[in-house]
Structure 1
């Protein structure tokens, strides 16, 4: 039997095979057989033998590519100069804020002060401070007995406020009395710190002899300088109960149902020893047809009417001149306003008995008579 055929000869074919690991083994005794993992299914899984080293030095690895961002430098600690500058800058900013706050506060305070000043000035202009008291010569003289409605009440007003006021109207704050300011007292200006007296017409009922108590207050309609008018309630002092005494006195006679007043016409004429007061006389219930025996009960004075009798045309007489003269200066000097007046005998329309009654004299006429006494009796 022939041995194995060598295919390496002529015409031989190479049989390709995979190179075996051991083909490269060194025959030296130092060769170390590789170790296998018997569980490996291929020789390719075996570790490669160590590669021979070369004398050519290896090139160093290239540095990593930069991303274009400069590396962060460590922060430098500020020096003493920088810290001082920062402190000064902070202090300046703080001072600026404080200055701004102070300026704002001052400006705000100035604005508030200006507003408060204006408000205080307006309040001062609006302030009305008036005191009122019944005049000592209110209407309590016995010469006025026999008249009831209306009768004249005189009140002294004192302006204790900071500005002038003008009086437009007045009335008693009491439902038992009906009252109004007489025309002569309307529009009276009362300077600050001054006083003046005013006249009011008052009516009341004579039931049970008349009122037993006096009104406590008076309502004044006043207008401060350049300000709207308004009502103020003022306590009315009447320490001597003159209102009650006068009101009850007017209810004592049959003449209490007859009420006659006078009105000054034109200016009084001072003729040295004589004072002429032109008046009209008005009745308020149309019960009288004429007046006779006009005279004055005023102590120290005498009076003569230019016309007697004086007839009524409905409720008013023609102008009548009253001529006044001083008969006794000693008595005239102590006369009070309430004692200055006139009286007359009234002839009634119903043919009833005549009666004497007092006639309320115009306030301007009373003032002229008092001035005439003062001048004549010095």
Structure 2
């Protein structure tokens, strides 16, 4: 079977032009003078604008293809990470259906586990000159700490919001038994709430606090936080696995083999995202690497489903375009298909390196171990 490239290549120059619907053009010699005169009459800005118009046309064509492709994406599972364990949406040619499959235990356990973070968020701006020589001081970026502690240490404006938060803790503690949680979770939640109230009461009474006392509190309830994390994880695993099993039966094994999953998350939770970890075992193992897509962002998008499908359409059409636009360079094709910028290799070469170097983990060990990074 003749390929498109072989078919066109077998024709003569004039034959090919005629075949494709073009008439033979005048000779180069006859048109060179006219081209030169036209070029001289056009300003540099006009000429450059005409060049840029080519890319604008490409983008317009690309956008049209993407817009139409969105209508044909199926099957797709879109996951919006949220406080309830995730909102899952199945997209097929027959429509969409959404659900929050994780039981409320997930949200309840995490809510109480967040008590130390809730207290920290109130007192953090007032930490200046209050951080003692803690064992983990060498892990704290001194500049970051100064920026977080932006209100200084002399104000007591933290007392009122901390008391307001304590009221929420007290109400939750009084009503905890009526929440009908598992016994172990009830106990751990009670310990966390009691610890938080104790820290707040002592700090308000003294009209001062420091990181040593806060870390004593947070460290004391850490085992209980781990218990809450265990219950939250169990609830999420069960909920996600159950809905994926239900949808797999609905879609059918053949279609499920080609399933795409798009997980929308925030940057701070985009690596080893909990839903991504669970979902991958529910997909076709051979396609997880290319069909399970994490889309980290700054804030949840206004239209999460469209955002997921719009990005997926871009990925799918780039997968096909890569092989057809760059058939002679698989490395560049792979770049277009993935997260790598097409110019990245060339830039590395020109900078003296043709291999990417992973960024090292942040190292804040700029001061002696055990010494507070904040100047006192």
TM-score bracket, normalised by the shorter chain, equals under 0.3
- What's the TM-score once normalised by structure 2's chain length? 0.19
- What's the TM-score once normalised by structure 1's chain length? 0.19
For the pair shown, the structure with the greater C-alpha radius of gyration is: 1
Structure (1 or 2) with the greater strand fraction: 1
